[in-house]
């Protein structure tokens, strides 16, 4: 027997309706290239979204057309986040940092023939346009800077002006696709993930849970995540459903601390690299940024030393999350339990550096091979597998394969982890990064974590390189603090030897000024390996 409850569809349009009807006086703030802040409220946002929906539809869109965006974190991108799904089309935010070849491949695979382009990316776009020949390109011009072929673009403001301010969404089936994102390609070629209205709506509800992102109407939220990286971790939707204000940093990452002060940001989100970069200024302007009470960090392991500075020195709560493009992206989030209140500060920090527990709606398990489910004892290491209404069931344009999905329908994350008896996940390594030496495994993440707490180390990365005798051996690549000891290599070896068996100690220690990063700010191990192997 079916129940007798209404089956109203969960759509992206519902989120915007709620924001505009209930929180219409709340604002979106965008930092413009000229340093000024553009502001309007959610009522205006909905009006402009409706105009954009009508304008885009008039280009002759078919349902399910994939419409690309090559745009930074601006109010126009936010408008596209709503307007494109509202007309039954699929927004495809392109990673502006990918190589021209990768972009070309992705755009061809997604069959994008309409694109919205930020004028600051016009040069990169010109190359893509030569290869692809988009049917329509619409220019978002926040700078008025001179660009080539300006006449070949439709102009965003003209495009939407005079269009009807009403648009009632026709989306009845919540399982329709609404967005396409590609993985950032840290460990291989980017793969496409097609989100549905339902999956994004449910992800939004789940992350707004108090113990997840916990956004409330009184928050001011700034995603320091590019809007092409897993839909800015779903924050534009979560912020608006909660009635909080949204702050978008445009392209100007140098002004982040000013922006926090000027808009009173209470919650911000970004990868660890972003926080490392801004930390010195945040410390020196500690009293000016006292509205900021929480940061959400993910994408790679947040070093324990960084968590300590944020929590103890700045009084800012760190919520360490683990996720994947394949999970929209949130899978687990780390907060202390009530039972941890009596723990020592050191024990608490150790827990906070874990990736945390599955958020409501996410199921996790640890597998050894295809048959053996491993216990949650904090010791057994296996592949983390996941299931949820916001987890992908097959990659875009490909049949699900056993490489990525199990026969009983779980996603193989490719991450090795332990889970403790309280359900806290600790990522040990990516399966592709784990070093196999003489038949034994060495976790690069554990070595990096240990190195990074040494006071003479600013940043540490461990990579595996081929070795005739052992198969693979670790090499540590390190950014040192100033005034380090002459015999630093011996000191670091001893530091590691206190924690790990001898065969884990890297064969070489290489000192560099900077660690290369990927297009989304993660450590680019592939680039480091290439550099080491050719040096
Ligand atoms: P890519 O795999 O190309 O980097 P994603 O941005 O989707 O694409 O990254 C997902 C992966 O990032 C996860 O499978 C995991 O390896 C890593 N990751 C995400 N969050 C964390 C975290 N908090 N700690 C450690 N690794 C993380």
- Which DSSP helix (H) or strand (E) runs through 411? strand 411-419
Name which of 438, 397, 389, 443 is nearest 417 in CA terms.
443
High-pLDDT (> 70) share of the chain, %? 100
Q: What is the mean pLDDT of the chain?
A: 94
Q: What is the 445 CA–ligand 1 centroid distance (Å)? A: 12
Q: Which atom of ligand 1 is nearest to the CA of 427?
A: 25
Q: Higher model confidence: residue 439 or residue 231?
A: 231
Which residue minimizes the CA distance to atom 4 of ligand 1? 186
For 353-370, the pLDDT digits (tens) are 999 999 999 999 999 987
Q: What is the 328 CA–ligand 1 centroid distance (Å)? A: 12
- Residue 172's pLDDT is 87
Pairing, β 425-430 against β 435-437:
unpaired
Segment among 143-157, 374-388, 403-417, 498-512 with least mean pLDDT: 143-157
- Residue 227's pLDDT is 96
Residue 133 is encoded by which pair of tokens?
């020949």
Mean pLDDT for the stretch of residues 369-381: 92
Q: What is the 299 CA–ligand 1 centroid distance (Å)? A: 5
Mean pLDDT for the stretch of residues 166-193: 88
Cα 256 to Cα 253: distance, rounded to the nearest angstrom: 6
Helices (H), 35-144: 42-57, 75-86, 100-110, 122-132
Mean pLDDT for the stretch of residues 139-158: 87
- Residue 145's pLDDT is 79
Q: What is the 322 CA–ligand 1 centroid distance (Å)? A: 7
Residue 292 is encoded by which pair of tokens?
């900021």
- Residue 98's pLDDT is 87
**Of the segments 21-35, 137-151, 480-494, which one has the largest average pLDDT value?**
21-35
For 319-357, the pLDDT digits (tens) are 999 999 999 999 999 999 999 999 999 999 999 999 999
Residue 49 is encoded by which pair of tokens?
């979204």
Which residue minimizes the CA distance to atom 10 of ligand 1? 324
- Residue 284's pLDDT is 96
Fold for the domain defined by 435-534 = GMP Synthetase; Chain A, domain 3 (3.30.300)
Residue 503 is encoded by which pair of tokens?
């065969």
Q: Is pLDDT above 80 for 253?
A: no
Which residue minimizes the CA distance to atom 12 of ligand 1? 299
Q: What is the 491 CA–ligand 1 centroid distance (Å)? A: 31
- Residue 440's pLDDT is 87
> Given ligand 1 and candidates 228, 323, 357, which is best to mutate, with the most ligand atoms within 8 Å of its CB?
323
- Which DSSP helix (H) or strand (E) runs through 473? strand 471-480
* Ligand 1 residue neighbourhood (C-beta within 6 Å): 183-187, 298-301, 320-325, 355, 413-415, 427, 430, 522
The 3-class secondary structure across 111-139, one letter per residue, is: CCCEEEEEHHHHHHHHHHHHHHCCCEEEE
- Residue 416's pLDDT is 95
What would the CATH number be for the domain defined by 12-270? 3.40.50.12780
Extents of the domains making up the chain: 12-270, 435-534
Query: What is the three-class DSSP state of 182?
Result: strand
- Residue 30's pLDDT is 97
Contact 165, 47 (CB under 8 A): yes
For 73-118, the pLDDT digits (tens) are 999 999 999 999 999 999 999 999 888 888 999 999 999 999 999 9
> Given ligand 1 and candidates 102, 193, 270, 324, which is best to mutate, with the most ligand atoms within 8 Å of its CB?
324
Name which of 526, 458, 448 is nearest 184 in CA terms.
526
124 to 40, 95, 107, 137, 338: CA distances (angstroms): 30, 11, 14, 13, 51
Contact 514, 523 (CB under 8 A): no
Name which of 139, 121, 129, 123 is nearest 104 in CA terms.
129
Q: Which atom of ligand 1 is nearest to the CA of 325?
A: 7
Query: What is the three-class DSSP state of 337?
Result: coil
Q: What is the 329 CA–ligand 1 centroid distance (Å)? A: 9
Residue 198 is encoded by which pair of tokens?
């339902």
pLDDT band at 63 (very low <50, low <70, confident <90, very high): confident
Q: 12-270 with 435-534: one CATH topology?
A: no
- Residue 432's pLDDT is 87
Mean pLDDT for the stretch of residues 140-151: 83
pLDDT band at 168 (very low <50, low <70, confident <90, very high): confident
Q: Which atom of ligand 1 is nearest to the CA of 518?
A: 4
Q: What is the 298 CA–ligand 1 centroid distance (Å)? A: 8
Q: Which atom of ligand 1 is nearest to the CA of 301?
A: 24
Mean pLDDT for the stretch of residues 482-488: 84
């Amino acid at each position: 027997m079916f129940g007798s409850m209404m089956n109203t569809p969960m759509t992206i349009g519902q989120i915007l309706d709620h924001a505009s009807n209930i929180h219409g006086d709340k604002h979106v703030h965008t930092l413009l290239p000229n340093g000024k802040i553009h502001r309007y409220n959610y009522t205006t946002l909905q009006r402009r979204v409706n105009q954009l929906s009508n304008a885009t539809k008039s280009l002759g869109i078919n349902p399910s057309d994939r419409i690309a965006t090559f745009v930074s974190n601006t109010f126009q991108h936010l408008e596209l986040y709503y307007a494109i799904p509202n007309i039954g089309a699929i927004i495809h935010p392109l990673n502006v940092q990918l190589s021209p070849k990768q972009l070309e491949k992705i755009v061809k695979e997604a069959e994008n023939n309409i694109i919205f382009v930020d004028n600051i990316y016009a040069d990169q776009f010109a190359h893509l346009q030569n290869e692809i020949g988009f049917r329509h390109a619409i220019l978002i011009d926040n700078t008025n800077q001179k660009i080539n072929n300006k006449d070949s673009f439709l102009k965003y403001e003209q495009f939407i002006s005079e269009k009807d301010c009403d648009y009632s969404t026709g989306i009845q089936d919540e399982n329709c696709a609404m967005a396409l994102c590609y993985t950032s390609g840290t460990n291989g070629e980017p793969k496409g993930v097609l989100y549905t209205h339902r999956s994004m709506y449910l992800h939004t509800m789940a992350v707004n849970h108090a113990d997840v992102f916990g956004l409330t109407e009184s928050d001011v939220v700034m995603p320091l995540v590019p809007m092409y990286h897993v839909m800015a971790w779903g924050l534009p939707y979560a912020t608006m459903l909660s009635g909080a204000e949204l702050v978008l940093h445009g392209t100007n990452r140098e002004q982040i601390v000013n922006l926090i002060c000027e808009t009173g940001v209470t919650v911000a989100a970004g990868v660890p690299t972003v926080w490392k970069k801004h930390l010195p200024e945040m410390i020196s302007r500690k009293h000016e940024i006292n509205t900021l009470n929480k940061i959400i960090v993910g994408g790679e392991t947040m070093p324990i030393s960084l968590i300590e500075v944020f929590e103890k020195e700045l009084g800012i709560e760190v919520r360490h999350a683990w996720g994947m493009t394949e999970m929209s992206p949130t899978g687990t989030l780390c907060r202390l339990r009530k039972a941890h209140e009596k723990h020592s500060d050191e024990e608490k920090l150790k827990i906070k550096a874990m990736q945390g527990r599955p958020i409501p709606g996410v199921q996790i398990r640890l597998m050894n091979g295809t048959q053996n489910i491993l216990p949650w004892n904090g010791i057994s290491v296996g592949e983390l597998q996941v299931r949820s209404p916001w987890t992908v069931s097959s990659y875009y344009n490909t049949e699900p394969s056993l490489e990525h999905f199990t026969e009983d329908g779980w996603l193989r994350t490719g991450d090795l982890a332990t889970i403790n008896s309280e359900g806290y996940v600790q990522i040990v390594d990516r399966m592709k990064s784990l070093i196999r030496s003489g038949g034994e495994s060495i976790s690069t993440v554990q070595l990096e974590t240990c190195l990074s707490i040494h006071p003479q180390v600013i940043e540490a990365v461990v990579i595996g390189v081929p070795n005739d005798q052992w198969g693979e051996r670790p090499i540590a690549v390190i950014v040192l603090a100033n005034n380090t000891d002459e015999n630093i290599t011996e000191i670091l070896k001893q530091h590691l030897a206190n924690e790990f068996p001898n065969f884990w100690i890297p064969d070489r220690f290489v000192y560099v000024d900077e660690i290369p990063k990927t297009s989304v700010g993660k450590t680019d191990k592939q680039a480091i390996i290439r550099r080491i192997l050719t040096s």
